[in-house]
Amino acid sequence: MLVKYAIVMSIASVVIMFYLHEYHTSTFIQFRSVYAQLCSTVIHLHTVVLKWFNMGSDIDLRGKRKEMLFSKEKLKKHTDGSKGLYLAILGKVYDVGKGEKFYGPSGSYHFFTGRDGSRAFITGDFTESGLTDDVIGLTPQELHSLHEWAQFYRREYKYLGKVIGRYYDTEGQPTPYYHQVRKLINKAKRTKQEESIEKLSYPPCNSEWSQESGSHVWCSKMSGGIERDWIGVPRQLYEPGSQTHRCACVRENEIDGPFKKGNIKEYPDCNPKSTSCWVYS
């Protein structure tokens, strides 16, 4: 729009200059009688266009939707549905109006609207102090879950822009806090990938517990939600430096050789080659 305006103004200027050059002075005098009105009109158009450009049209010069920047006060106005239902997660704002039954004034997730309550997605603390965008201190697993929530909103709802504050500055540029959180999330994603690889190598055991009999752990071709073509035997898997363990199924051809991950121990009073063990407390 601004480009079209500039082209029109340039053409108009050329026409006026040509007019003044080609016609004699008397004609110029006649032109002066309407010149003031023409200038006033041009100035008015110039002001309107600049106001349109600076005050928030959501379309840029390439015809693409511009990102909007929200102050916390501006975002807070979008909670009752009359001005739209917006929420933010990790500093990014989404229009959740199509989920009004969940996010509207009577919805079960209404407390998320009009703010960035990122931490509460994980902690479940929906008090004023719990609905905060400060996520430092969450565990890698929690940060990974929060990242998945953010991806959910990106897929399901219309992205609008950014919140000025903890994650983005007044120009919409990432803050040092943003980079710190991104670094932690990327680390959490790598940890999750490593855990997935480990679980494929050492799937969790099936387990059950009763007060009378204690814990029963066993391996099958579908234990830990991981389907495979081998069964394995139950072992106590200790992560390096950890004092706790989880039950892992180990391939039969590995039980007498060196293990690739952590420390593996046999369950007491259980046949080393049995696919099932009872753990008495």
Tens digits of per-residue pLDDT, 232-274? 999 998 877 677 889 999 988 776 655 555 588 899 999 999 9
Both tokens of residue 86?
A: 């917006």
Mean per-residue pLDDT for 135-158? 96
In this prediction, residue 253 carries a pLDDT of 79
Q: What is the mean pLDDT of the chain?
A: 82
User: Is pLDDT larger for residue 215 or for residue 30?
Assistant: 215
Instruction: Please state, in angstroms and rounded to a whole number, the distance separating the CA atoms of residues 19 and 3.
Output: 25
- The one-letter code for the residue type at 69 is L
In this prediction, residue 232 carries a pLDDT of 95
Instruction: Please state, in angstroms and rounded to a whole number, the distance separating the CA atoms of residues 56 and 67.
Output: 10
Cβ contacts of 132 within 8 Å, gap of 6 or more: 116, 117, 118, 119, 120
Closest among 70, 86, 67 to 78, alpha carbons compared:
86
In this prediction, residue 91 carries a pLDDT of 98
Q: Is the pLDDT of residue 52 over 90?
A: no
Q: Is 279 left (phi over 0), alpha (psi -120 to 50) or beta?
A: beta
In this prediction, residue 238 carries a pLDDT of 86
pLDDT band with cut points at 50, 70 and 90 for residue 194: confident
How many Cβ atoms are within 10 Å of 255's Cβ, its own excluded? Answer: 15
pLDDT band with cut points at 50, 70 and 90 for residue 145: very high
Q: Which of 4-18, 113-127, 136-150, 193-207 has the lowest mean pLDDT?
A: 4-18
Beta bridge partners of 87: 94
In this prediction, residue 48 carries a pLDDT of 46
Q: Which of 177-181, 210-214, 230-234 has the lowest mean pLDDT?
A: 210-214
In this prediction, residue 11 carries a pLDDT of 54
Mean per-residue pLDDT for 74-93? 95
How many Cβ atoms are within 10 Å of 12's Cβ, its own excluded? Answer: 12
User: Is pLDDT larger for residue 140 or for residue 45?
Assistant: 140
